[in-house]
């Protein structure tokens, strides 16, 4: 053993014992929409490791990306015994780390989480198997040894009120929530905690029993939100799922999950676009939001301040009113570290924004970018929503800056260390990647994130009361506030006249059959986010299209895969 190659300075973020074969993921992965919570198999069709089982393996990847709900998927896998044996990252990572912390803190299921420096990460990546202990990793029969230290807990400064919660003076639930927050703060390197004015909870989506077990456990402990707390889209239309034919073994626990959070003081907003609710956060306001698109929009477009909080941490913040002062709460955590210049053709329309966001995330998977080349555009809020949602699908960053458009681009966008050019050819290749598939379309999906009133109006106006093709369904998912406004101004009537279904409470990343039509095999969407996640979540071909493509498909059943007019070569 003394002759083994040694690499020091690894950190056991969540210590424990494990052993298994090493699986190296060459690029980050979102566990939500990227890993089957029932089996541990990678279902993201755009990921190089699609089809690989992570169950029982020592999984190495640079970091995670995408959805805040990855923590819930990891907890689901932990409780069913199908989780990775351990997770090893090359840098900071929050979402899966939080899932592992909750699994250990609340359920006694340990999944070691390790952070390695670059050299040690590369060396271990060439090994075939590893054994992990709290003080080190051995690999390939002991020929490789990497020492591990622990995260420093003593550096976290707590207020007297924090100490009272941690001691149990505010109840068992607050103590448990504060323990989880402190564990997260320590691994993030936070110096202290910060007060937040409001929270948005993402863990109300039912991905399996684990989310419900967590919520009902917290309710049993007496948890109660102490700051205004909104809720993300859930997994069923709360009032109508029985009439829609949703199976009881899914509908009932999904409803129980939503109801548990409502009983604990959360608002039954049920939207993945909380920035569309009345009284959105203001510039500089410290908030505790989850849901990747919402976090990125709040930070980037509104100028509010929130970390990209994983599921479960969001509710712990609601219970305590406190969050780790780290990441995008700090100026340093909001600075651009990479510039991305977009060679945007003249005449680009709203369909450019999800594509730009998607490609920007791929170009900047682990750092905040400053996007250049768009200052002459005049994006609407829905364009920026599409940009942020698609960016959050392919990047782990909590925000982006757009030169000449977003409020902090001038003050915090100037520290880029390098610049990447996204050419017209790159845009075309990205569009083809997300839009390939059959011309025949069975389902048009609008509202990922939830559709705005303007988006609902645009669909109604384009359809003009004409009936849908008999072979096609069109479904819009939207928040309750938006649907009420659309009812009031007649938009809902116009949509129903054409045969469009408008569904509240759930969104495309949580919709299930039979609400998702049983016969649908090919789906067309305007959402870059759903074009990426949809194939793995639904088992269908999901194509990105323009709004014109979607209307054409709705009326005829046909929309060929093609570049949008602004991107097609002239001639």
- Write out the catalytic residue numbers: 67
| Strand residues in 122-265 grouped as ranges (E) | 129-133, 136-139, 144-150, 193-195, 199-201, 229-231
Give the DSSP per-residue string, 409-428.
HHHHS---S-EEEE-HHHHH
Phi and psi of 374, rounded to 5°?
-115, 5
The DSSP 8-state label assigned to residue 507 in this structure reads -
Nearest to 342 by CA among 381, 365, 370: 370
Burial (CB count <10 Å: 0-12, 13-18, 19+), residue 108: exposed
The 3-state DSSP class for residue 306 equals coil
Residue 79 in contact with residue 107, Cβ under 8 Å? yes
Q: In the 8-state DSSP scheme, what is residue 192? A: B
Is the preceding omega at residue 514 within 30 degrees of 0, hence cis? yes
CA 290 to chain centre: 8
Pairing of strands 129-133, 113-115: unpaired
Q: On the CB side of 569, how many CA atoms lie within 13 Å of its CA?
A: 4
Following DSSP, what letter does each residue of 7-46 receive, concatenated?
A: EEEEEEEE---EEEEEEE-SS-B-STTTB-TTT-BB--TT
Residue with tokens 């479960």: 312
Q: How far is CA 221 from CA 218, 288, 346, in A?
A: 5, 22, 58
Could you tell me if 67 and 33 are in contact, meaning their C-beta atoms sit under 8 angstroms apart?
yes
Contact between 448 and 509 (Cβ < 8 Å) = yes
Count CA within 13 A, CB hemisphere, residue 564.
28
Q: Peptide bond before 305: cis, by omega within 30 degrees of 0? A: no
What is the bridge-based pairing of β-strands 144-150 and 136-139?
antiparallel
Distance between the two ends of the chain, CA-based, in angstroms? 69
Contacts of 184 (CB under 8 A, 6+ apart): 94, 97, 98, 101, 313, 324
Per residue, the 3-state secondary structure of 223-257, as one string, reads CCCCCCEEECCECCCCCCCCCCCCCHHHHHHHHHH
Q: How far, in Å, CA of 523 to CA of 437, rounded?
A: 9
CA 216 to chain centre: 23
Alpha carbon distance 146, 343 (integer Å) = 45
Comparing CA positions, the residue from 308, 88, 324 lying closest to residue 186 is 324
Q: And the tokens for 384?
A: 């920026």
């Amino acid at each position: 053993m003394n002759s083994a190659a040694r690499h020091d300075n690894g950190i056991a973020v969540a210590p424990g014992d494990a052993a298994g074969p090493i699986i190296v993921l060459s690029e980050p992965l979102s566990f939500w929409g990227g890993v089957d919570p029932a089996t541990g198999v990678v279902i993201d069709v755009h990921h190089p490791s699609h089809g690989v089982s992570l169950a029982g393996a020592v999984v190495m990847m640079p970091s995670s990306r995408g959805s805040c709900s990855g923590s819930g998927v990891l907890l689901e896998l932990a409780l069913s015994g199908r989780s990775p044996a351990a997770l090893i990252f090359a840098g900071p990572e929050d979402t899966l780390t939080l899932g592992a912390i909750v699994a250990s803190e609340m359920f006694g299921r340990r999944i070691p989480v390790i952070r390695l420096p670059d050299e040690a990460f590369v060396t271990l990546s060439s090994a075939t198997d590893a054994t992990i202990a709290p003080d080190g990793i051995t690999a390939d029969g002991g020929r490789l040894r990497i020492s591990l230290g622990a995260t420093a807990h003593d550096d976290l400064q707590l207020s007297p009120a924090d100490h009272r919660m941690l001691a149990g003076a505010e109840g068992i639930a607050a103590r448990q929530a504060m323990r989880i927050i402190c564990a997260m703060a320590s691994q993030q390197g936070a110096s202290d905690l910060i007060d937040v004015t409001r929270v948005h909870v993402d863990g109300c989506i039912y991905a399996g029993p684990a989310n419900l077990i967590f919520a009902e456990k917290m309710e049993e402990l007496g948890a109660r939100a102490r700051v205004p707390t909104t809720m993300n889209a859930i997994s069923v239309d709360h009032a109508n799922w029985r009439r829609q034919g949703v199976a009881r073994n899914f509908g009932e626990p999904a409803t129980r999950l939503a109801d548990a959070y409502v009983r604990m003081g959360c608002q039954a907003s049920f939207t993945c676009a909380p920035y569309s609710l009345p009284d959105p956060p203001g510039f500089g306001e410290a908030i505790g939001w989850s849901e990747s698109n919402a976090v990125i929009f709040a930070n980037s477009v509104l100028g509010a301040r929130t970390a990209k909080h994983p599921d479960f941490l969001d509710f712990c913040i609601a219970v305590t009113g406190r969050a780790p002062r780290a990441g995008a709460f700090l100026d340093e955590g909001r600075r651009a570290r990479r510039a991305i210049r977009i060679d945007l053709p003249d005449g680009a329309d709203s369909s450019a924004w999800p594509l730009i966001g998607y490609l920007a995330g791929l170009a900047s998977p682990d750092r905040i970018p400053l996007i250049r080349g768009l200052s002459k555009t005049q994006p609407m809020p829905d364009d920026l929503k599409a940009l942020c949602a698609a960016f959050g699908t392919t990047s782990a960053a909590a925000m982006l800056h757009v030169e000449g458009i977003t409020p902090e681009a001038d003050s915090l966008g100037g520290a880029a260390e390098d610049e990447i050019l996204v050419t017209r050819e790159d845009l075309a290749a990205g569009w083809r990647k997300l839009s390939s598939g059959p011309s025949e379309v069975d389902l048009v999906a609008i509202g990922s994130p939830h559709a705005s009133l303007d988006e609902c109006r645009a669909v109604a106006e384009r359809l003009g009361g004409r009936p849908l093709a008999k072979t096609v369904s069109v479904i819009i998912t939207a928040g309750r506030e938006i649907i009420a406004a659309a009812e009031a101004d007649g938009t809902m009537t116009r949509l129903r006249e054409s045969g469009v279904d408008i569904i509240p409470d759930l969104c495309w990343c949580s919709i299930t059959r039979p609400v998702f039509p049983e016969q649908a095999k090919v789906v067309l969407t305007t959402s870059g986010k759903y074009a990426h996640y949809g194939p793995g979540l639904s088992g269908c071909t999901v194509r990105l299209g323009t709004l014109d493509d979607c209307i054409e498909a709705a009326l005829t059943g046909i929309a060929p895969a093609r570049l949008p007019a602004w991107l097609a070569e002239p001639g």
